[in-house]
């Protein structure tokens, strides 16, 4: 086991580099880039849990944070790509949404302090844009745009339409104990809307995920005189599995075991941690507790008063899931695995321990996760986690509008719906 973990760390530090930049999505293209986060800049650590969404006229910039597990600083550049509602590159030119040249040097970086695995922490405040909509932040080495290290989605909205959104009991009676439905109403009187079905798109998102987002096109009610549209569907299109409160591990300590950590082993050049062995809970009753809705928070309790971004250690953390061996693919799901996209998200069967397991390199902090099964690229957590309508989730409603003759989709309304917000 120790040899395997050493090899795992070697691959992370000096391993494979992925240069194929194909889709406009959230993705990390090289293994030595870790702890990538994009969020509105705030005064507290909790701001890093917020969705990367900002108003067009707002004063709080979005900020990108990431670590490079390297000994020498790299010259990284950033570029913005404007996208339509379906995340394809829009027809806008760079000077249509930026007042400066569209290439930015990432010059704000710091070296980690006395950590076993050295890293360089980078910070980049995104420039202001002049158009609302979807954007991709692309980061690459030097001036070589083909040598991409990461891409992150973010959204800029303008309050053009009046939007209302609410969590209601599902229209499908059989789903009422385990699902949550999002109804939407909007007033489009400030837009030149001739054909709402073609010009307006509604997107619903749960816990900042894109893989299970809902795209609503046809409203259930339309009043042309008052310019009102309602999306109160009866076929389940706007329903989400409520799932369960997320499991979590507390990695804020290296000299003690945090919550749900079975063992921590501190060595000269690396720290190992084993999470407690998890079991399915699909038949368990709902239990309310605080979680981060699948996100993670970088923090350390070993160096009080310091800067957790450059003083937190990286740890090799092993997660285990005790179920019988199956032909299905088992995944560790959450922001810690890019919602199932990272190679380490897929768990492997250990014939000796008779559990599924995977090992991730994680920075000290608090991490949420769930277990999912996927045989067709769609992650399903209900089989292992259960699904309870009482579960606290974060929902986002995004309203896109294509004006007559326009070359891009505006993001004209945004609501973050978290009425029963419970966070650490």
The 10s digit of each residue's pLDDT in 231-262 is 998 888 999 999 999 999 999 999 899 999 99
Over its C-alpha atoms, the chain yields an Rg (Å, rounded) of 22
- Confidence at residue 108, expressed as pLDDT on a 0 to 100 scale: 97
pTM confidence score: 0.92
> Tens digits of per-residue pLDDT, 192-233?
888 988 999 999 999 999 999 999 988 999 998 899 999 998
DSSP state of 49: G
Confidence grade of residue 392 (pLDDT, cut at 50, 70, 90):
very high
Per-residue pLDDT averaged across 68-80, rounded?
A: 94
Copy the structure tokens of residue 165.
Answer: 């959104």
Distance separating alpha carbons of residues 180 and 353, to the nearest angstrom = 37
Position 23 scores a pLDDT of 54
Q: For residue 232, what pLDDT is reported? A: 93
Task: Please identify which residue in the block is written with the tokens 């009425």.
Answer: 419
17 DSSP assignment? B
Strand partners, 334: none
Cα end-to-end distance, the chain, whole Å: 34
Does pLDDT of 424 surpass 60? no
Question: What is the pLDDT at residue 418?
Answer: 81
pLDDT band at 16 (very low <50, low <70, confident <90, very high): very low
Region 289-317: mean pLDDT is: 94
- Which structural domains are found in the chain, ordered by start? 16-157 (2.60.40), 162-242+390-417 (2.60.40.10), 247-385 (no CATH)
- Interval 108-150: pLDDT, tens: 999 999 999 999 999 999 999 999 999 999 999 999 999 999 9
What lies within 8 Å, CB to CB, of 93 at 6+ separation is none
Alpha-carbon distance values, 376 to 213, 333, 334, 401 (Å) = 17, 15, 18, 32
Average pLDDT score, the chain? 92
Region 278-305 average pLDDT: 92
Strand, coil or helix: 51: coil
Q: What is the mean pLDDT of residues 28-40?
A: 96
> 239: which 2 tokens?
């329903």
Which helix (H) or strand (E) covers residue 382, if one does?
A: helix 382-385
Asked whether 378 and 366 are in contact (CB, 8 A), the reply is no
Of 120, 66, 68, 127, the residue nearest 95 (C-alpha):
127
Q: Report residue 162's pLDDT band, with 50, 70 and 90 as the boundaries.
A: very high
- Output the pLDDT for position 214: 95
- Alpha-carbon distance of 192 to 410, in angstroms, equals 13
Cα separation of 269 and 307, whole Å? 21
Q: Phi and psi for 227 in degrees, rounded to 5?
A: 60, 45
- Residue 351 pLDDT grade (very low, low, confident, very high; cuts 50, 70, 90): very high
Tokens of 223: 């009043």
* pLDDT at residue 421, rounded to an integer: 63
Helix (H, G, I), strand (E, B) or coil at 10: helix
Confidence of residue 377 (pLDDT cuts 50, 70, 90): confident
| Structural contact between residues 315 and 362, judged by C-beta atoms closer than 8 angstroms | yes
Residues 6+ apart with CB under 8 A from 76: 105, 106, 122, 139, 140, 141, 142, 149
Looking from the CA of 372 toward its CB, the CA atoms found within 13 Å total 26
**Please, which pLDDT band fits residue 187 given cuts at 50, 70 and 90?**
very high
pLDDT of residue 419: 62
Cβ partners under 8 Å of residue 31, min gap 6: 11, 12, 15, 16, 17
Structure confidence at residue 15 (pLDDT): 43
- % of the chain at pLDDT higher than 90: 80
> What is the rounded CA–CA span in Å between residue 7 and residue 359?
12
Q: CB neighbours of 53 closer than 8 A, spacing ≥ 6? A: 40, 154, 155, 156, 157, 396, 414, 416
């Amino acid at each position: 086991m120790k040899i395997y973990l050493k090899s795992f760390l070697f691959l992370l530090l000096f391993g494979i580099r992925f240069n194929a930049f194909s889709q406009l999505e959230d993705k990390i293209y090289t293994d030595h880039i870790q702890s990538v986060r994009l969020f509105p800049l705030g005064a507290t650590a909790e701001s890093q849990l917020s969705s990367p969404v900002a108003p067009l006229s707002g004063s709080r910039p979005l900020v990108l944070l990431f670590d490079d597990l390297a000994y020498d600083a790299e010259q990284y550049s950033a570029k913005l790509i404007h996208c339509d509602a379906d995340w394809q590159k829009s027809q806008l030119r760079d000077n249509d949404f930026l007042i400066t040249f569209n290439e930015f040097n990432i010059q704000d970086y710091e070296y980690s302090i006395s950590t076993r695995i050295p890293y360089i922490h980078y910070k980049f405040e995104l420039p202001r844009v002049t158009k609302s909509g979807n954007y991709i932040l692309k980061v690459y080495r030097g001036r070589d745009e083909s040598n991409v290290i990461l891409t992150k989605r973010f959204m800029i909205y303008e309050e053009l339409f009046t939007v209302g959104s609410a969590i209601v009991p599902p229209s499908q009676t059989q789903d009422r104990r385990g699902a949550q439905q999002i109804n939407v109403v909007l007033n489009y009187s400030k837009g030149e809307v001739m054909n709402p079905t073609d010009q307006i798109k509604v997107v619903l998102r749960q816990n900042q995920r894109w893989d299970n987002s809902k795209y609503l096109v046809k409203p259930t009610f339309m009043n042309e005189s008052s310019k009102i549209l309602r999306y109160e569907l009866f076929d389940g299109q706007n329903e989400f599995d409520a799932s369960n409160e997320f499991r979590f591990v507390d990695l804020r300590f290296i000299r003690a075991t945090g919550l749900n950590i079975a063992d921590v082993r501190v060595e000269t050049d690396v720290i190992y941690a084993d999470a407690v062995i998890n079991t399915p809970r699909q038949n368990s009753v709902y239990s309310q507790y605080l979680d981060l809705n699948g996100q993670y928070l970088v923090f350390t309790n070993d160096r009080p008063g310091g800067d957790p971004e450059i003083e937190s250690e990286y740890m090799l953390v092993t997660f285990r899931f005790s179920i019988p061996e199956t032909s299905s693919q088992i995944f560790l799901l959450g922001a810690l695995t890019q919602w199932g996209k990272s190679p380490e998200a897929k768990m492997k069967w250990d014939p000796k321990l008779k559990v599924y397991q995977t090992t991730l390199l994680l920075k000290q902090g608090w991490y949420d996760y769930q277990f999912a099964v996927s045989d067709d690229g769609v992650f399903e957590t209900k089989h292992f986690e259960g699904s309870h309508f009482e579960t606290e989730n974060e929902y986002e409603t995004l309203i896109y509008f294509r004006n007559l003759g326009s070359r891009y989709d505006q993001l004209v309304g945004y609501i973050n719906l978290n009425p029963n917000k419970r966070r650490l």
